[in-house]
Amino acid sequence: MTLDRLVIRRPDDWHVHLRDGAMLKAVLPFTARQFGRAIVMPNLKPPATHAADAAAYRDRIRAALPDGVAFTPLMTAYLTDGTDAEDLARGFEEGVFAAAKLYPANATTNSAHGVTSIDRITPVLERMADIGMPLLIHGEVTDQSVDIFDREAVFIDSTLAPLLDRHPSLRVVLEHVTTADAVAFVRAHAASGRIGATITAHHLLINRSHIFQGGIRPHLYCLPIAKRESHRLALVGAATSGEAPFFLGTDTAPHTVTAKEAACGCAGCFTAANALELYAEAFEDAGALDRLEAFASLNGPRFYGLPPNEERVVLERRPTVVPDVILVSEGDAVLPFRSGETLRWSFAGAA
């Protein structure tokens, strides 16, 4: 029997880039339509490093919400070499920050102000461990001599494993995992309950060959870059397992078409327009639609110590056409992942 209607608790997105200004206005309605809460990334220009920056950014997000939409932005601190443990802890205790984000300097989009060496923030990490504040990590080494397809696996061995040993009670989310190595590492530490991993829809749906299918496809370029098929299969296995550490984080990362279709195009895929429909396809292809709710709506809140959303949403088996483009301003637009293509599932709103 095939399932034609799926009702799940309203999901949350544990990794999202909402940007600011006109871009925020253009993309926020998509995330807020499907998700109850989202962990909002702080890699703005300039980055949101202090509690005051994050509180002001949270106000701009709330002001940009369409009328009548209930959506809770959960803010993060952008860690730098100069992060003040006091300000960070106060921001967490006052409920401004839900977590802090570690960008190794120059690892990804808008990470130039990131941490140059993890040892520099030892006191900050000790404080975070004491107060139970999660550390969210873009897990790639920045050494350009390491092959781009190996940067996540090398980071796990060289940085993440020693970090967990050094800070035995620090809670960590390895963001947007792309490798079988990451899946194995997270599973090996699952019993501690202190490690989580987000998985994007696009990494469940594409492998590295898709980036070069018939020519170079800049809209499939994101960081960490998609890996070979065996890694994609490991990610599908993890996401659809129902296992507690794996949860939904779209890493929807909008850039204008002009910035993507360039000699040196930006990294990031925009999946917010149809995030749940995309995940539903991946889960259905794995024969695991019954596990979508654990991944999308239960495992994330459990890790963050929050209750799952009470409200239910409906997915229906009927075609959805992904928008061709999302207009941002006159003359600039964002091209969604699977732009113009037809998906098998439709998001039908609250049950």
Ligand X SMILES: NC(=O)N[C@@H](CC(=O)O)C(=O)O
In the structure encoding, which two tokens stand for residue 135, read together?
């550390």
CB 134 within 8 A of CB 99: yes
Q: What is the number of the residue whose Cβ is closest to Zn ion?
A: 138
Q: 274 a known binding residue?
A: no
**Shortest Cβ distance from residue 222 to ligand X (Å)?**
4
| Active-site annotation, residues | 251
Q: 113 a known binding residue?
A: no
* Cα angle, residue 205 at apex, residues 348 and 277 outer, rounded to 5°: 0
In this chain, which of 10, 17, 113, 189 binds ligand X, going by CB under 6 A? Answer: 17
CB 234 within 8 A of CB 179: yes
In this chain, which of 268, 300, 301, 336 binds ligand X, going by CB under 6 A? Answer: 268
- Site for ligand X contains 139 (CB under 6 A): no
Look at the block and give the residue holding tokens 């709330």. Answer: 62
**Shortest Cβ distance from residue 307 to Zn ion (Å)?**
25
**Shortest Cβ distance from residue 197 to Zn ion (Å)?**
13
The site for Zn ion (CB under 5 A) is made up of 108, 138, 251
Walk across the sheet containing 5-9 and list its strands: 5-9, 312-316, 346-350
Q: Which is nearer to ligand X, 175 or 293 (CB)?
A: 175
Helices within 50-121 (DSSP H only): 51-64, 85-93
- Site for ligand X contains 222 (CB under 6 A): yes
Quote the CA–CA distance of 219 and 254 in Å, as a whole number: 10
Question: Which value, to the nearest 10 degrees, does the dihedral of the CA atoms of residues 241, 163, 108, 58 take?
Answer: 80
In this chain, which of 49, 76, 108, 159 binds ligand X, going by CB under 6 A? Answer: 108
Q: Which is nearer to ligand X, 65 or 267 (CB)?
A: 267
Q: Which is nearer to ligand X, 11 or 254 (CB)?
A: 254
Quote the CA–CA distance of 201 and 109 in Å, as a whole number: 19
Q: 317 a known binding residue?
A: no
Q: Which is nearer to ligand X, 8 or 196 (CB)?
A: 196
Residue 88 binding target from ligand X, Zn ion, none, CB below 5 to 8 Å by type: none
DSSP letter string over 233-279? Answer: HHHHHHHTT--TTEEE---B----HHHHSSTTPPP----GGGHHHHH
Residue 43 binding target from Zn ion, ligand X, none, CB below 5 to 8 Å by type: ligand X
Q: Which is nearer to ligand X, 10 or 232 (CB)?
A: 232
Which residues within the stretch 21-60 sit at the binding site for ligand X (CB under 6 A)? 43
Helices 85-93 and 51-64: crossing angle, nearest 10°?
40
Number of residues that bind ligand X (CB under 6 A): 12
- Site for ligand X contains 105 (CB under 6 A): no
Of the candidates 72, 79, 21, the one whose C-alpha atom is nearest the C-alpha of residue 48 is 79
Task: Determine whether 166 is exposed, middle or buried from the number of CB atoms within 10 Å of its CB (0-12, 13-18, 19+).
Answer: middle
Residues at the site binding ligand X, with contacts judged by CB under 6 A:
17, 43, 108-110, 138, 222-223, 251, 253, 267-268
Binding annotation for substrate: 17-19, 43, 138, 223, 255, 267
